[in-house]
Amino acid sequence: MYNIRTDLAVEARDIYKESSKLDSIPGIESEEDDRGNISITRVRVTNEEGERAIGKKPGIYITIETPALRGNNPDEAEKITNVLKDELTKILGDCEKKNVLVAGLGNSRITPDSIGPKTVSNLVVTRHLFSTMPHEFCDGLSHVCAIAPGVLGVTGIETGEIIRGVAERIKPDVIIAVDALASRKMERVSTTIQIADTGISPGSGVGNKRKALDRETLGVPVIAIGVPMVVDAATIAIDTIDALIGAMDNSTVLDNQKESLIRSVVSDTQTMVTPKDIDSIAERISKILANGINFALHKGLSAEEISVFTG
């Protein structure tokens, strides 16, 4: 069947629930939380049964959802930043004085794939300051360094190889990987942040970022932060078919018929569906992600001091 991948555990869970008609899935625990108009869902994959069901590795997947992420209201941006900071703080555990490597994945020249590199350029990077700055200055700061390794098609090197090479030299305690995600539903595009403690899985995101980035391959915990920025054009065709079939009770469409229909409509698989103002959305979301990380890692810095650092 024409199968569209989602990087969001919460979507994978919902799709499984719908197709299996199950109310609860063995191996999957969920909890929901609200902070104003921001809803937080924590999906925990507790065992291999859960992994098989929704196709996500055991671990925790936190989804922060709000249409305000797409907007440009600075008040709302501050609220989302704070939620992100709090969730990150919990998932990072005691990060005081930790060495953190942030990797901004994706292609800086393809707008919807650029939030990783853009986030990195808004970080307060401090690792190089510790040897030269006075001791007091560094109170409340983590050792943060950051790279934007580029994508395979541009560098000729798997992203994972670059990160592993750098990590072997600088020995971080934890890696935070920021990336654009693929989602299944248009309404989640640029409205959802997912934080996972399971790293990045093969084939994630808009492009081709093969080879897992996780504790197994990198030797340290890998926290993944991502935002869906596009959906595949085929999702619209699939959703239309499903909606149409739902509307015509006694009709059925076979799966292979469905696939050929979709192929006929969406001829070019290299298309994507994005919001029209994706350029400015990508800028704003990258700032929110960067500041969530900045606040979570540098508890000693005020919003103002972070502005001074990041210009």
User: In this structure, what token pair is assigned to residue 255?
Assistant: 């799966």
How far apart (Å, rounded) are the C-alpha atoms in residues 171 and 116? 21
Q: At what angle do helices 278-297 and 303-310 cross, to 10 degrees?
A: 120
Q: Is 161 in the site for a second copy (CB under 8 A)?
A: yes
Scanning 9-17, 18-26, 257-265, 288-296 for contacts with a second copy by CB under 8 A, the matching segment is 257-265
Minimum distance from CB of 87 to a second copy (Å)?
24
Q: Of 139-158, which residues contact a second copy (CB under 8 A)?
A: 143-150, 152-158
Q: Of 74-133, which residues contact a second copy (CB under 8 A)?
A: 74-75, 109-111, 121, 125-129
Reference 229, options 280, 175, 292, 290; nearest CA is: 280
Minimum distance from CB of 58 to a second copy (Å)?
28
Q: Sign of the CA dihedral 165, 166, 167, 168? A: positive
Residues whose CB falls within 8 Å of the CB of residue 275, separated by 6 or more in sequence, listed in order:
70, 189, 190, 281
User: In this structure, what token pair is assigned to residue 76?
Assistant: 């709302």
Q: 47 or 280: whose CB is closer to a second copy?
A: 280
201 to 240: interface string for a second copy, x by CB under 8 A = -----x--------------------------x--xx-xx
Count of chain residues binding a second copy (CB under 8 A): 78
Which listed residue (93, 168, 216, 256) binds a second copy by CB under 8 A? 168
> CA-based diameter of the chain, in Å?
75
Q: 59 or 117: whose CB is closer to a second copy?
A: 117
Q: 1 or 248: whose CB is closer to a second copy?
A: 248
Scanning 55-63, 174-182, 244-252, 286-294 for contacts with a second copy by CB under 8 A, the matching segment is 244-252
Q: Sign of the CA dihedral 238, 228, 284, 112? A: negative
Q: 94 or 268: whose CB is closer to a second copy?
A: 268
Q: What are phi and psi of 34, to 5 degrees?
A: -130, 135
Minimum distance from CB of 28 to a second copy (Å)?
27
Dihedral (Cα; 45, 187, 19, 46), 10-degree rounding: 0
Q: Of 184-203, which residues contact a second copy (CB under 8 A)?
A: 186-187, 189
Q: 62 or 189: whose CB is closer to a second copy?
A: 189
Beta bridge partners of 232: 272
